[in-house]
Amino acid sequence: METNLIVQLVSALGSAGVLAWYCWYVTSTTLPRLVKEFREETAAARADAVAEREYHRERTDRMTDLAEKMIQQCAARTAAADQG
């Protein structure tokens, strides 16, 4: 019974009516949902990128500190060897 109703509505509205309904459905339902999902996924990816960048920044800072300490130790040993 419900199939007949759908067929009758499509017949009455014609292809222009179906196209208008489809445009309304896409713009009012599908696109907002897709935009929302995209923004959520982008926010999650952005948060991951920020965390990874912070990890690499801390690691680079730590390596820089160690390299500076090594340079200072080498300079101190070279100065001690030159004096001795």
Q: CA geometry: angle at 66 spanning 50 and 55, to 5°?
A: 10
> Coil, strand, or helix at residue 84?
coil
Asked if pLDDT for residue 1 goes beyond 60, the answer is no
Is residue 54 a part of any domain in this protein? yes
Looking at per-residue pLDDT, the higher value among 79 and 49 belongs to 49
Identify whether 3 is part of a domain. Answer: no
Domain assignment present for 9? no
pLDDT of residue 81: 85
CA distances from 55 to 3, 41, 52, 59, 69 (A): 59, 21, 5, 6, 21
Tokens 């001690």 — which residue? 80
- Domain containing 55: what range? 14-84
- Would 83 be classed as within a structural domain? yes
Query: How many distinct structural domains can be found in the chain?
Result: 1
Q: Is residue 39 part of a domain?
A: yes
Whether residue 1 is contained in a domain is answered as no
68 close to 76: Cβ distance less than 8 angstroms: no
Q: What's the pLDDT at 13?
A: 73
Query: What is the distance between the alpha carbons of residues 77 and 84, in angstroms, rounded to a whole number?
Result: 10
Distance, CA of 63 to CA of 15 (rounded, Å):
68
Note if the pTM is more than 0.95. no
pLDDT > 90? residue 21: no
56-69 pLDDT, tens digit per residue, is 999 999 999 999 99
Residue 35, in any domain of the structure: yes
